[in-house]
Amino acid sequence: MSWRERFPGVSEAEWRDWRWQHRHALRTPQALARVVDLTPSEERGLAQTAATFRLGVTPYYASLMDARHPFCPVRMQAIPVADEVSCCEGDLRDPLGEDGQRPVRAVVHRYPDRVLFLVTDTCSVYCRHCTRRRITGGEEGPFDRAAAEEGIAYVRARREVRDVLVSGGDPLVLGDDRLGWLLGELRAVPHVQILRLATRAPVTCPMRIDDALARRLRSVKPLFVVTHFNHPKECTPEAQEACERLVDHGVPVENQTVLLRRVNSAARIIADLNHRLLSWRVRPYYLHQGDLAAGTGHLRTPLACGIDILEALRGHTSGLAVPHLAVDLPGGGGKVTIQPEYVLPEAPGSHRGAGSGGTWFRNYVGKPYHYPDPPETDCSCPYDEIFYAGKEGRPQPGA
Ligand code: SF4
């Protein structure tokens, strides 16, 4: 069913206006019931989560839902079910331990050379798997200009910060002027080398990405947009136009997928999604194991699921389509990446005695291969001192 049939009386101009999409977001069970046939589990989820997490779906994202099938991947990401109310073992309010690493309200400073910069607590769609739902649920209240100024002052004072990831909430709910001011202030900090902007707008409200915004983002280059497609059903012509507009304006786009049980927990889905994204020049970057955010346990997969997906991708398709499988360690330990084990503990039976030293591997179809050790093992780089001491007489990187 097209959006015109689902939202009769809406003009093309209104539909393509991102502010109209935000103003008309579906925020009640009654509004959603006009778009899909709600199941008893969804009705219970909607009633019981009303007090714990926001509900909001842009008409555009709602128009992608299968009205009849409760396992529609778009529906599962945006409509709560009864399971969202139950807690699982290990669930955490702040799964990544961010609150203990927030020197000021807008900044999470966990890693040595980069910070997360929170600019808003709102989004155009509230994802049921949101890891930062303590913030996007409205518990903390909005981020005002004073919070942003305090965050900018923090970044300015910390010379080790060379990378700022602007996030929230979704920074693209802000208007161009407010966003432009913030990015301009961060760009003006001499030691900040790169900016990143995390947004689901290309997925949930692609009309937000217009030429004016793309020009603004380009004006603070180098800035990378990090978006969040989870399923090929989200790869619409509108989403393609949004991503390609950014890339055409010189703004690189990367994608982070969250692995969600029964939404995208199959190699075929992830491969298809990544192939589509690559054809738009969007680079699949991370495949995230679900965090332990309270209320999301029913959407989490066992670790083996992600490893099996990587096993099915690596070698079988281009490396560009194979993301890093990442686990953000509970409590604030930071990200680690995992992959199938390709190193064999010993030479396989038929090769015993062959190739002493070195390492035995299995390749992507399970065949054994030997990689011998090199003749020398000293890996220090003698030219380093000349290059980094500036003795070459040329400008140094980052100078
Ligand atoms: S867009 Fe991002 S921050 Fe907003 S609800 Fe979805 S996952 Fe959470």
Predicted local distance difference test score (pLDDT) of residue 176: 97
The number of the ligand 1 atom at minimal distance from the alpha carbon of 126 is 5
**Domain boundaries in the chain?**
99-338, 343-399
| Euclidean distance between CA atoms 203 and 233, whole angstroms | 10
Predicted local distance difference test score (pLDDT) of residue 13: 97
Domain spanning 99-338 has what CATH number? 3.20.20.70
Task: Give the mean pLDDT per block of 10 residues along the chain (399 residues).
Answer: 92 98 98 97 97 96 97 98 91 94 97 97 98 94 96 98 97 98 98 98 98 98 98 98 98 98 98 98 98 96 98 97 97 95 90 77 96 94 89 58
Query: Which amino acid residue places its CA nearest to atom 7 of ligand 1?
Result: 130
Q: Are 294 and 103 in contact (CB under 8 A)?
A: no
Predicted local distance difference test score (pLDDT) of residue 299: 97
Helices 267-279 and 303-313 pack at an angle, to 10 degrees, of 60
| Euclidean distance between CA atoms 7 and 25, whole angstroms | 12
Ligand 1 centroid to 290 CA: how many Å?
Answer: 13
The number of the ligand 1 atom at minimal distance from the alpha carbon of 200 is 1
Predicted local distance difference test score (pLDDT) of residue 399: 47
The number of the ligand 1 atom at minimal distance from the alpha carbon of 135 is 3
Region label for 341, one of left (φ > 0), alpha (ψ between -120 and 50) or beta (otherwise) = beta
Ligand 1 centroid to 127 CA: how many Å?
Answer: 5
What are the residue numbers of the active site? Answer: 110-111, 114, 123, 127, 130, 132, 291, 328, 335
From residue 99, how far is each of 102, 153, 258, 333 by CA, in Å? 5, 19, 22, 13
